[in-house]
Amino acid sequence: MKKIAVILSGSGVFDGAEIHEAVLALQAIEQEGASWHCFAPNIPQHHVINHLTGEEMAETRNVLVEAARIARGNIDDIVNLNAVDYDALLLPGGFGAAKNLSDFAFTGAGCEVNPEVKRACQAFAKEEKPAAYLCIAPTLIPAIYGPGAKGTIGDDPDTAHSFNKMGGEHINCPVNDFVLDQKRRLLTTPAYMLAGSITEAASGINKLVKELVKLA
């Protein structure tokens, strides 16, 4: 059975991992006959957002502890993620990817990736193992793969511009499809960058995961 490592960035679209994307991806992995295990950095969230009002809350939360909600406790600190133990990698989106795994939400093209996240992702690249990045998570790709890496965040011009400015090659993509950088064995899909429903998000995620498991 192929084993997929999944990196989460918290729990909740505005300050962590996008829950629908994460669960859809986990389900798709199982439906393709593979297994998954989740990881997250053991760090404080950048901030906590009230998902009812959209306002920042005066409290602190831990990315690993929050991500454990999605994984039902089946999760480890990212320091324990070793690429040799897995066949492929997947990162759901959500603002946590741009606030906790990196600082893209605040610095754009000048963003830096959390050192442990970068180490883990680059290990998969070095081992030439396939990796998938959903929604806003592809903004990490140029920092991990270097110049020329292809990917999509859908068709948002500002985010695409930042992706290109960082050295990536952005490709516009509809919600129900994915982009494959064959040379790097790298897959991306817009998911909730474009999706207006769970069904729309699933349409691209399911196709991407099917190809990811096949490549693994």
Active-site positions?
135
3-state secondary structure of 166: coil
198-215 and 19-31 helices cross at what angle (nearest 10)?
40
Residue 212 and residue 72: Cα distance in Å, rounded? 23
Q: What are the distances in angstroms from CA 123 to CA 42, 47, 193? A: 19, 28, 27
Question: Is-contact 128 118, C-beta < 8 A?
Answer: no
Instruction: Classify 172 as helix, strand or coil.
Output: coil
Block residue for tokens 């760090």 = 43
Q: How far apart are CA 77 and CA 15, in angstroms?
A: 18
User: Which among 174, 169, 172, 194 has a CA at the least distance from the CA of 184?
Assistant: 169
Report how far residue 122's alpha carbon sits from residue 129's, in angstroms, rounded to the nearest whole number.
10
Return the number of other C-beta atoms located less than 10 Å from residue 174's C-beta: 15
Is the Cβ–Cβ distance between 186 and 13 less than 8 Å? no
